Amino acid sequence: FFATVPLAPPDVIFNLTASYKADTFAKKVNLGVGAYRDDQGRPWVLPVVQEAKRRLLSDPNLDHEYQPIAGIPTLLAGAAKLILGADSVALQENRVTGAQTISGTGANYLGASFLARFYRPGAQVLISRPTWANHRNIFVGAGFEVQEYAYVNPSTLTLDLDGMLASLNSAPEGSIVILHACAHNPTGVDPTEAEWARIADVMRAKRHFPFFDCAYQGFATGDVDQDAWAVRFFVQRGFELFVAQSFAKNFGLYGERCGVLTVVAHNATLAKQVRSQLEKLSRSSISNPPAFGARIVSMVLSDPKLYAEWLDNLRTMSSRIREMRECLRDELVRLGTPGTWDHIVHQIGMFSFTGLTTPQVKVLRDSYHIYMTDNGRMSMAGLNSGNVAYVARAIDEAVRQ
């Protein structure tokens, strides 16, 4: 029967990393995958994570038992407090629940599986145009019809608020809307607070369900509370909602697969019902989640000293990325590269949606060994003081061709 199985195309991002690794050119640059690198271009193990690991490994009582189906309770509590705020009314009213997941992807997946089973049959899922490619994979995989809402104006590379509101308005009532909590991937364009308020108004009027995806808390503004603003605002506005939280980027724990699906319900009874079904879904898919990364995150979130150190580590990452934005913009301006480049510094988070065209991206890859996705998205974390001038020169030459 295997003969009937068609060959699936390779994953774009992971394929790009493989091509980069196979490239033997000394000055090659990987601006594809959204993974933080230090100024030497190396993966960065956060010092606070090293400290948490040291404490974990020196604990003589550390064992490798199964965790509860919904995950480590202190992780769930810490994750909820991180995204909703310590003073969250929803937390005080005991109507927040959640489940630990296989990083942010798993949180999206668990949320999608839950909605496929319990949300109104036939409901559409709306994703931004463009968005993280896996949103479509996950929600189509869960059986949903997936439509797009307008998000970014391709000529100005700024938010197309009118287009977005029009899309949300014309979608069937009660659609599920995937919203990036902050640091939108791939555009780096986030709504302002006033724009979020308009989005919330339409979501309320149309009774849409907000499903926030939060993979970059701390990477947008460098302030975890500010980056949680939109989610907290929707909670204050009385929405029931999901938040898929990833700790891959903000803890540098990419491979440990630590995430949480946090759920805000209208009351504690509903939260309990939802939680029971999330547990049932987790039991049949992963049985119970992995412990190591979750122990690290949980320890850091619940220890005030480690927490302060983590915020500091986060600022190290977000400010280096911001510096690289400025360096790249300044270099392009200095070279007189045709076009405008201020959007590189205005966009936030890990990525810049450069506006480079697919043929230009191909020139960068083929002639300069610089790897980025065909849509012109650049992972700013791949830039450093040793390669930014080279990248700017290559962009300059690609744009002039």
Out of 128, 246, 360, 373, name the contact with ligand PMP by CB under 6 A: 246
Pick the piece of the chain touching ligand PMP (CB under 6 A) from 24-32, 103-111, 119-127, 300-308. 103-111
308 within 8 A of 301, measured Cβ to Cβ: no
347 is an interface residue for ligand PMP by CB under 6 A: no
223 is a catalytic site residue: no
Q: Which of residues 165-184 bind ligand PMP (CB under 6 A)?
A: 180
Out of 30, 100, 103, 360, name the contact with ligand PMP by CB under 6 A: 103
Binding-site string for ligand PMP from residue 120 to residue 159, where x marks contact by CB under 6 A and - marks none: ------------x---------------------------
DSSP labels for 145-158? EEEEEE-EETTTTE
219 is an interface residue for ligand PMP by CB under 6 A: no
Pick the piece of the chain touching ligand PMP (CB under 6 A) from 100-108, 110-118, 223-231, 380-388. 100-108
Pick the piece of the chain touching ligand PMP (CB under 6 A) from 78-86, 98-106, 153-161, 233-241. 98-106
Out of 97, 113, 128, 185, name the contact with ligand PMP by CB under 6 A: 185
227 is an interface residue for ligand PMP by CB under 6 A: no
Residue with tokens 């942010």: 104
Rounded CA-CA distance 116/118 in Å is 6
Out of 213, 240, 309, 331, name the contact with ligand PMP by CB under 6 A: 213
How far, rounded to the nearest angstrom, does the alpha carbon of residue 372 sit from its chain's CA centroid? 18
Which residue in the list 160, 249, 310, 341 is annotated as catalytic?
249
Q: Please name the helix (run of DSSP H) or strand (run of DSSP E) that holds residue 279, with its range, or none.
A: helix 268-285
259 is an interface residue for ligand PMP by CB under 6 A: yes
213 is a catalytic site residue: yes
Question: Residue 278: helix, strand or coil by DSSP?
Answer: helix
Which residue in the list 44, 132, 196, 310 is annotated as catalytic?
132
Nearer to ligand PMP, 331 or 376 (CB): 376
Out of 20, 31, 32, 34, name the contact with ligand PMP by CB under 6 A: 34
Closest of 11, 4, 263 to residue 137, by C-alpha: 11
Two tokens at 374? 């065909």
Closest of 131, 75, 24 to residue 302, by C-alpha: 75
36 is an interface residue for ligand PMP by CB under 6 A: no
Rounded CA-CA distance 264/63 in Å is 32
Nearer to ligand PMP, 313 or 337 (CB): 313
DSSP label at 239? -
Q: How far is the CB of 5 from ligand PMP (least distance, A)?
A: 26
Rounded CA-CA distance 98/274 in Å is 8
Q: In Å, what is the CA distance from 51 to each residue of 20, 75, 266? A: 32, 17, 38
Site size with ligand PMP, rule: CB under 6 A? 12
Which residue in the list 190, 213, 227, 310 is annotated as catalytic?
213
Pick the piece of the chain touching ligand PMP (CB under 6 A) from 63-71, 85-93, 99-107, 136-144. 99-107
Q: In Å, what is the CA distance from 328 to each residue of 117, 174, 357? A: 47, 43, 18
Out of 46, 215, 344, 381, name the contact with ligand PMP by CB under 6 A: 215
Pick the piece of the chain touching ligand PMP (CB under 6 A) from 102-110, 298-306, 334-342, 374-382. 102-110
Nearer to ligand PMP, 183 or 271 (CB): 183
Rounded CA-CA distance 289/286 in Å is 6
53 is a catalytic site residue: no
Nearer to ligand PMP, 213 or 240 (CB): 213
Distance separating the N- and C-terminal Cα atoms of the chain: 49
101 is an interface residue for ligand PMP by CB under 6 A: no
Q: In Å, what is the CA distance from 309 to each residue of 162, 209, 306, 313, 334? A: 41, 35, 5, 6, 37
Closest of 53, 27, 76, 107 to residue 382, by C-alpha: 27
How far, rounded to the nearest angstrom, does the alpha carbon of residue 331 sit from its chain's CA centroid? 28
Q: Which residues are tagged catalytic? A: 132, 213, 249
* Residues at the site binding ligand PMP, with contacts judged by CB under 6 A: 34, 103-105, 132, 180, 185, 213, 215, 246, 248, 259
